[in-house]
């Protein structure tokens, strides 16, 4: 594999462009994706290459263009629908949950809906409560949807290529705070399968499970804990529906302890789901209760000091790791 460093947004652009060159039925649509090159410049240059029939600027009407995308997917196209933020997907959630997710089942298998809904999720700085929410667990609760949340440029490209080729609707959630992140992305073609977690760091004292941009806090915590000779195994779920439970369970059987880090609110979160499954399937291997670190159970505030207090951070993760290690 070639050594090449590119930005997160470039990795996403390459994934879409590579698949669009192969298949003329793949289209990109959303607010500002064409003439403006994308709100976060993810689609920069794609209008010039593929033209206005395949890179389509839409009105500010998420319900409308999400519905057009679902109908197009049912009739032979493979749309990529970009939400400027998944906070705005709430306007379109009827089409996502009641149409895209259910059509294959309701049609008795006659209609696949090969569509990708993608865009940023979660906190993006001082954007306050209505633009700083996490919806991974919302969509993961819906049968018929697959939900992917990359944490780095390499994964983003391989995961998005797999999402575009899937015959079922995929929710692909990014982060505004990661678009400028740089990482190794091979020039050679590759795919990362849906539903496959990745062990980012090997360890033997405790398993830390996370996904999306908040996993960076786990890396920072693990670096500090390593200075105290505490070895953390870090698992990036990458897909939160379906979840790679087996990867997590096998790690817990080795480390005997589990901390789950997630940016969403605590109630009905992915972290609580993982905790339930692990204690059910690997209870006899646990030497301490499972702990989860989530955002505080409140709308995210505007003030940066309060944002820092509300979100998971290395200090909270370190404290949780020491609790499961030493039963503090």
Q: Give the C-alpha distances (Å, rounded to integers) separating 107 from 19, 67, 104, 176.
A: 28, 17, 5, 36
204 among known catalytic residues: no
Q: ∠ at Cα 190 (186, 193), nearest 5°?
A: 135
Name the active-site residue from 62, 174, 176, 263: 62
Q: How many CA atoms lie within 13 A of 279 on its CB side?
A: 13
Q: How far apart are CA 297 and CA 33, in angstroms?
A: 34
Q: Give the C-alpha distances (Å, rounded to integers) separating 178 from 86, 126, 301.
A: 15, 15, 20
Residues 6+ apart with CB under 8 A from 92: 62, 63, 65, 66, 67, 83
Name the active-site residue from 131, 174, 233, 262: 131
Question: Using N-to-C axis directions, what is the helix angle for 8-22 and 153-165, rounded to 10°?
Answer: 30
Task: Tell whether the torsion through CA atoms of 81, 83, 87 and 93 is positive or negative.
Answer: negative
Looking up tokens 């702990």, which residue turns up? 291
112 among known catalytic residues: no
Inter-residue long-range contacts of 129-132, CB under 8 Å, 24+ positions, other chains counted: 129/299, 129/300, 129/301, 129/302, 130/87, 131/85, 131/87, 132/87, 132/300, 132/307
**Residues designated catalytic:** 62, 131
């Amino acid at each position: 594999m070639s050594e090449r460093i590119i930005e997160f947004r470039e990795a996403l652009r390459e994934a879409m462009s590579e698949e669009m060159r192969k298949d003329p039925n793949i289209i990109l649509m959303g607010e500002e994706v064409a003439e403006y090159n994308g709100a976060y410049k993810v689609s920069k240059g794609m209008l010039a290459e593929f033209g206005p029939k395949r890179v389509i600027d839409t009105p500010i009407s998420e319900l409308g263009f999400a519905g057009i995308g679902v109908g197009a997917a049912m009739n032979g196209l493979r749309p990529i629908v970009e939400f400027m933020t998944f906070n705005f997907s709430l306007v379109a959630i009827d089409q996502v949950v009641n149409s895209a997710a259910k059509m294959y089942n309701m049609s008795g298998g006659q209609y696949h809906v090969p569509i990708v809904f993608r865009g940023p999720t979660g906190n993006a700085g001082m954007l306050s409560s209505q633009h700083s929410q996490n919806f991974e667990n919302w969509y993961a609760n819906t049968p018929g949807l697959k939900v992917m949340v990359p944490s780095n440029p390499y994964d983003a490209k391989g995961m998005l290529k797999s999402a575009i080729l899937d015959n079922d609707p995929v929710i692909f959630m990014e982060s505004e705070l990661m678009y400028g992140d740089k990482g190794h992305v091979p020039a050679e073609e590759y795919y990362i399968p849906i539903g496959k977690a990745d062990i980012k760091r090997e360890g033997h004292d405790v398993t830390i499970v996370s996904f999306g941009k908040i996993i960076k806090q786990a890396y920072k915590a693990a670096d500090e804990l390593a200075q105290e000779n505490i070895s953390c195994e870090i698992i990036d779920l990458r897909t939160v529906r379906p979840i790679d439970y087996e990867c997590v369970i096998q790690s817990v059987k080795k480390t005997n302890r589990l901390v789950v880090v997630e940016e969403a609110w605590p109630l009905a979160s992915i972290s609580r789901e993982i905790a339930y499954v692990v204690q059910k399937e690997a209870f006899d291997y646990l030497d301490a209760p499972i702990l989860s670190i989530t955002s505080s159970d409140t709308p995210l505030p505007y003030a940066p000091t309060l944002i820092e207090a509300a979100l998971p951070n290395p200090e909270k993760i370190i404290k949780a790791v020491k609790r499961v290690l030493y039963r503090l």
